[in-house]
Amino acid sequence: MDPTFNAATRIEDLYLNARLATMVPGDEPYGAVQDGALAVSGGKILYAGPRNRLPDAFRAAARTRDTGGAWITPGLIDCHTHLVYGGSRAKEFELRLKGATYEAIARAGGGILSTVKATRELNEETLLEQSARRLKPLLAEGVTAVEIKSGYGLDLETELRMLRVARRLGEEYPVTVRTTFLGAHALPPEYEGRSDAYIDLVCREVLPRVAEEELADAVDGFCETIAFTPVQVERVFETARKLGLPVKLHAEQLSDQGGAALAARYSALSADHLEYASEDGVRAMAGAGTSAVLLPGAFYFLRETRLPPVDHLRRHGVPIALATDMNPGSSPAGSLLLMLNMACTLFRLTPEEALAGVTRNAARALGLAGRLGTLEAEKDADFVLWDIEEPAELAYRFGFNPCTGVVKAGARVR
**Which residues bind to Fe ion, rule: CB under 5 A?**
325
The entry of Fe ion, ligand DI6, none near residue 112 (CB within 5 to 8 angstroms by kind) is: ligand DI6
**CA 255/CA 241 separation, integer angstroms:** 26
- Closest to 47 in 3D by CA, of 22, 70, 65, 23: 22
Decide whether 113 or 282 has the Cβ nearer to ligand DI6: 113
Least distance between ligand DI6 and beta carbon 300 (Å): 12
Strand 143-149 to 411-412 pairing: unpaired
Decide whether 115 or 374 has the Cβ nearer to ligand DI6: 115
Least distance between Fe ion and beta carbon 250 (Å): 5
The entry of Fe ion, ligand DI6, none near residue 329 (CB within 5 to 8 angstroms by kind) is: ligand DI6
The entry of ligand DI6, Fe ion, none near residue 222 (CB within 5 to 8 angstroms by kind) is: ligand DI6
Least distance between ligand DI6 and beta carbon 330 (Å): 4
Question: E-assigned strands of 248-388?
Answer: 248-251, 270-273, 291-294, 320-322, 383-386
Least distance between ligand DI6 and beta carbon 154 (Å): 12
Least distance between ligand DI6 and beta carbon 33 (Å): 37
Decide whether 5 or 85 has the Cβ nearer to Fe ion: 85
CA 86 to mean position of chain CA atoms: 20
Reported as type and span, the H/E element at residue 35 is strand 32-41
Residue 219 near residue 240 (C-beta atoms within 8 A): yes
The partner residues of 71 in beta bridges, in order of sequence, read 19, 386
Residue whose beta carbon is closest to Fe ion: 325
Residue whose beta carbon is closest to ligand DI6: 329
Decide whether 151 or 391 has the Cβ nearer to Fe ion: 151
Decide whether 297 or 373 has the Cβ nearer to ligand DI6: 297
Which residues, 6 or more positions from 336, have their beta carbon under 8 angstroms from its beta carbon? 76, 78, 138, 141, 143, 322, 323, 324, 358
**CA 213/CA 239 separation, integer angstroms:** 16
Residues of the shown chain interacting with ligand DI6 in the complex, contacts defined by CB under 6 A: 82, 111-112, 115, 185, 222, 250, 253, 298, 325, 327-330
